[in-house]
């Protein structure tokens, strides 16, 4: 049995191979996203986040994300920010566009941007005159301004080069118009570390995912091992365990003003010990 180590940084990554396997899985076509077949490996694919998030396995493992919760959060957030109907929103690191599509449905002009080509190809099926998707690296300004820029569901803190976390905040600021608000919806690292489930086996679509979670050197790691079509895979997610104080430092360096902090998707008050989320509104 072959082993595919999709681990951090510069280790060899056989992206074409994983796509071959994914294509042979007997699953709906959209597992790979429309139009996604084999692609030439680019420099982007040398980082864990560029490879793992671009595979169909990532979407299989997390397929049970709570859509109702995500939609209710978007209702609550857009009401709170008082974004006028038709207002423009950039969903930065949008994945397959679950928030972006809903925001468009409730009346906003939405752009979804993500590094993952296969996720964007999938999302593009839903485009209309007020919903667009683009492959884009969030550490760079998008080149257009919006009434709001959302970075949702812990889509921050992946970079190996720390400077790119700050660059992402600067890019969000550059993407906001005069009236615009930035929103980062991050995990509450303290809560996550205190409640870490060290080992778990999760079976989704007949794939048995073996998960190991641990905190080390200021990062939270999740090792993900599974077998698919007779091949063994291992990925490691690695997210910087930013605290509120860390974000405050980044905001200061980016000349961004933190306006409000919430601790969950209903926008309750943030509590450093008990809140599951760290949701920051800034401009
Ligand atoms: C945890 S997922 C969340 C996706 C989406 N926001 C959601 O809630 O379903 C993180 C996303 O960040 C994207 N991502 C990672 N690094 C990125 C970068 N440098 N620029 C843009 N997107 C990136 C991944 O491709 C992935 O879709």
pLDDT in tens, 88-133: 999 999 999 999 999 999 999 999 999 999 999 999 999 999 999 9
Ligand 1 atom closest to 158 (CA): 16
Q: Is ligand 1 within 6 A of the CB of residue 185?
A: no
Q: Is ligand 1 within 6 A of the CB of residue 119?
A: yes
List, for residues 157-173, the tens digit of each pLDDT value: 999 999 999 999 999 99
What tokens does 132 get?
Answer: 């667009």
Query: Is the confidence at residue 17, as pLDDT, over 60?
Result: no
Taking alpha carbons only, the member of 170, 92, 183 closest to residue 133 is 92
Q: Is ligand 1 within 6 A of the CB of residue 108?
A: no
Q: How sure is the predictor about 14, in pLDDT bands with cuts at 50, 70 and 90?
A: very low
> What distance in Å separates the CA atoms of residue 63 and residue 122, rounded to the nearest whole number?
14
Residue of 65, 73, 115 to test ligand 1 pocket, by largest number of atoms within 8 Å of CB = 115
Count Cβ neighbours within 10 Å for each residue of 239-274 and write b for 16 or more, e otherwise: bbbbebebbeebbeebebebeebbbbbebeebeeee
Q: Is ligand 1 within 6 A of the CB of residue 280?
A: no
List, for residues 261-270, the tens digit of each pLDDT value: 999 999 999 9
64-83 average pLDDT score: 96
Q: Is ligand 1 within 6 A of the CB of residue 98?
A: yes
Q: How far is the CA of 114 from the centre of ligand 1 (A)?
A: 6
Among 27-31, 174-178, 196-200, 278-282, name the one with the lowest average pLDDT: 27-31
Q: Is ligand 1 within 6 A of the CB of residue 260?
A: no
What tokens does 14 get?
Answer: 């056989």
Q: Is ligand 1 within 6 A of the CB of residue 139?
A: yes
What is residue 46's predicted lDDT score, i.e. its pLDDT? 66
> What distance in Å separates the CA atoms of residue 126 and residue 119, rounded to the nearest whole number?
12
Query: Is the confidence at residue 5, as pLDDT, over 50?
Result: no
The burial of 169, by beta-carbon neighbours within 10 Å (0-12 exposed, 13-18 middle, 19 or more buried), is given as: buried
Query: Is the confidence at residue 21, as pLDDT, over 60?
Result: no
Ligand 1 atom closest to 53 (CA): 25
The dihedral formed by the CA atoms of 57, 60, 66 and 70, expressed in degrees to the nearest 10: 40
What is residue 64's predicted lDDT score, i.e. its pLDDT? 86
What is residue 201's predicted lDDT score, i.e. its pLDDT? 98
Q: Is ligand 1 within 6 A of the CB of residue 49?
A: yes
Taking alpha carbons only, the member of 53, 55, 50 closest to residue 10 is 50
Among 32-46, 59-73, 194-208, 217-231, name the one with the lowest average pLDDT: 32-46
Q: Is ligand 1 within 6 A of the CB of residue 186?
A: no
Q: Given CA atoms 211, 212, 213, 216 in this order, what sign does their dihedral have?
A: negative
Query: Is the confidence at residue 37, as pLDDT, over 80?
Result: no
Q: Is ligand 1 within 6 A of the CB of residue 155?
A: yes
Among 6-10, 123-127, 167-171, 214-218, name the one with the lowest average pLDDT: 6-10
Q: How far is the CA of 54 from the centre of ligand 1 (A)?
A: 10
Q: How far is the CA of 1 from the centre of ligand 1 (A)?
A: 31
Cβ-based neighbour number of residue 8 at 10 Å = 16
- Which residues lie closer than 8 Å to 130 by C-beta, 6 or more apart? 86, 104, 108, 109, 110
Domains of the chain as residue ranges with CATH: 15-64+191-240 (no CATH), 67-189+242-282 (3.40.50.150)
> What distance in Å separates the CA atoms of residue 48 and residue 222, rounded to the nearest whole number?
12
What is residue 116's predicted lDDT score, i.e. its pLDDT? 96
């Amino acid at each position: 049995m072959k082993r595919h180590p999709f681990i951090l940084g510069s280790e060899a990554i056989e992206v074409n191979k994983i796509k071959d396997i994914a294509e042979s899985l007997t699953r709906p076509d959209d597992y790979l996203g429309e139009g996604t077949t084999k692609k030439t490996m680019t420099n982007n694919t040398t980082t864990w986040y560029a490879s793992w998030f671009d595979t169909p396995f990532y979407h299989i493992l997390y397929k049970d994300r709570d859509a109702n919760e995500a939609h209710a959060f978007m209702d609550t957030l857009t009401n709170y920010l008082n974004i006028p109907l038709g207002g423009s929103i950039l969903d930065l690191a949008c994945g397959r566009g679950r928030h972006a599509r809903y925001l468009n449905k409730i009346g906003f002009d939405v752009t979804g941007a993500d590094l993952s080509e296969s996720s964007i190809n999938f999302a593009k099926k839903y485009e209309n005159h007020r919903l667009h998707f683009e492959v884009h690296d969030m550490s760079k300004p998008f080149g257009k301004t919006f009434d709001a820029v959302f970075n949702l569901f812990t889509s921050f803190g992946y970079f190996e080069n720390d400077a790119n976390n700050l660059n992402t905040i600067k890019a969000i600021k550059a993407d906001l118009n005069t009236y615009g608000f930035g929103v980062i919806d991050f995990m509450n690292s303290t809560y996550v570390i205190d409640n870490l489930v060290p080992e778990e086996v999760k079976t989704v679509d007949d794939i048995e995912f073996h998960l190991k979670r641990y905190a080390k050197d200021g990062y939270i790691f999740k090792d993900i091992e599974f077998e698919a079509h007779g091949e063994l895979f291992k990925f490691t997610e690695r997210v910087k365990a930013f605290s509120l104080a860390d974000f405050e430092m980044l905001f200061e360096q980016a000349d961004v003003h933190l306006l409000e902090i919430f601790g969950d998707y209903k926008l309750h008050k943030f509590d450093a010990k008990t809140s599951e989320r760290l949701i920051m509104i800034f401009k």
